[in-house]
Structure 1
């Protein structure tokens, strides 16, 4: 049962591009959509959502293969693209009957996706938040995209046949999360991690997105030249500062500042925080979303 006064959580599956996607909505007010980075599932935003639901209707979804979403067809699904992910976001919102302009927030790789959404569907966006977003200046696509996608599918298929995801997927997820937080722990529910990351579909989705990473970055660079952001759109770049004054940290923060300058965005840092900012500083992530509108 839902506790009195608690926001009602509505979980459902929407068929988008022929694939059943797991979608969750909760809260009230203007809409914001949260999209996770490479290998992420809906529950990676769990600590952020309670800060938002008193003021926003929060939408989360799992891309194909992640979380509870079904995998795309094994051999016929197109390789990931920025335009394709922007269209997926639009289709999720349309499937929920949410057609008013909304704030979109993307973490890491998904920063590419939500920025592409803002550029390709300018009438649908009220604010843009890039949470420690990926940065690839002057990216160039790699050769043989079809062969790379085919190789990713083949590697995932072989690994699945050998039970690699089943045996090692949850442990690999937990290790990755620990390394991406200053607290060095994975705050995601262990049972959900076990359920979602021991499947071959999650590994296939991760490998396919990874081999297309630079292609998507290059596609977004082209969109930046040809499809401007809506005039006056509030944009925030939220960068994670782990508190170390290492060369690596300083270089990353410099890249984030350059991204903010490129987009004419409000630049913020939050510290101490690792790349999984949603675990270390969920309040800062929520503030960035709420301040866009």
Structure 2
């Protein structure tokens, strides 16, 4: 791979809106060099990577996007099926295609999105230069729950009912702030307050979160099936970066053990970063960037 800057659409580094499978998605691409894509976990928005991006842009073309309903992206139409790991892998490929980035890309996924980027690496091996799982979700023996259609309908209905009585508008930003503070060792949300208010007081963000959460075990089971049938590309560099909050309690030790097991399962390099909470992009953006920069085929 060369260090030449790939061709990007005008507005790279600023917000661009790309229609992916009929849904306008908010996408940002900035920097120069080989491409890397950063995608966040449940309820995450593009600005959660803001502290990481400056470490990467001198060496990489950095792509971020909001999944449907999150950040500045439009919600998916009501007739679309619920989210899946393979569907999110397809969305990643479609974003890269729309940006004119056909070459191999390092993909990094945080938390739930670790399912998505691993699925991408398995389903699109020629498009994958490296794989980074950032405190990724882990399920030892996942089983899909029954009635996925009914669960998705219930998630939509719950979001609609809450939006009708202004719950997201009144409580969304506060809940986001509390969740961020609880998952960083800093105990603060470093995201810009105006953006948090703009993005988290909408019904579309609540609907996206509830739909993804309702499908969590299904996505885990789907990925487990891919692991049995679709191998990772031979020689693919894979890194598992685990957040260690510095507390030597049972919960922390169990989480780190699960991350080590995930690394062993994937034949990945295991890295532990401390002190860092689950939102390690806030606590240790340097370690996150190092994991991405070091993971190149």
Counterpart selection for 2:227 from 221, 224, 228: 224
Number of the residue aligned with 1:151: 154
- Superposition misfits of 4+ residues, deviation over 3 angstroms: none
The offset of 1:137, in angstroms, is: 1.2
1:66 corresponds to 2:70:
yes
Q: 1:140 aligns with which of 126, 140, 143?
A: 143
Residue in structure 1 matched with residue 38 of structure 2 by the alignment: 34
Which SS does the other structure have where 1:10 is aligned? coil
Calculate the aligned-residue CA RMSD, in Å.
Answer: 0.9
> Which residue number corresponds to residue 11 of structure 1?
15
Structure 1 residues 237-264: Cα deviation after superposition (integer angstroms, max 9, x where no partner): 0000000000000000000000000000
Tell me what 1:95 maps to. 98
Q: Which residue matches 1:282? A: 285
Query: Which residue of structure 2 lines up, in the alignment, with residue 25 of structure 1?
Result: 29
Distance 1:171 1:98 in 2: 37
The Cα of 1:11 is off from its aligned counterpart by 2.0
- The superposition leaves residues 57-98 of structure 1 with CA deviations (integer Å, 9 ceiling, x where unpaired) of 00000000000000111x201101011000000000000010
Residue 270 of structure 1 corresponds to 273
Aligned to 1:163: 166
Q: Per the alignment, in what secondary structure is the counterpart of residue 248 of structure 2?
A: coil
Q: What does 1:160-199 align with in structure 2 at a 5 Å threshold?
A: 160-199=163-202
Aligned partners of 2:14 and 2:161: how far apart in 1? 36
Query: In 2, Cα distance between the equivalents of 1:280 and 1:57?
Result: 23
Partner SS for 1:13: strand
Give the match for residue 246 of structure 1: 249
Partner of 2:54: 50
**SS of match in other structure, 2:232:** coil
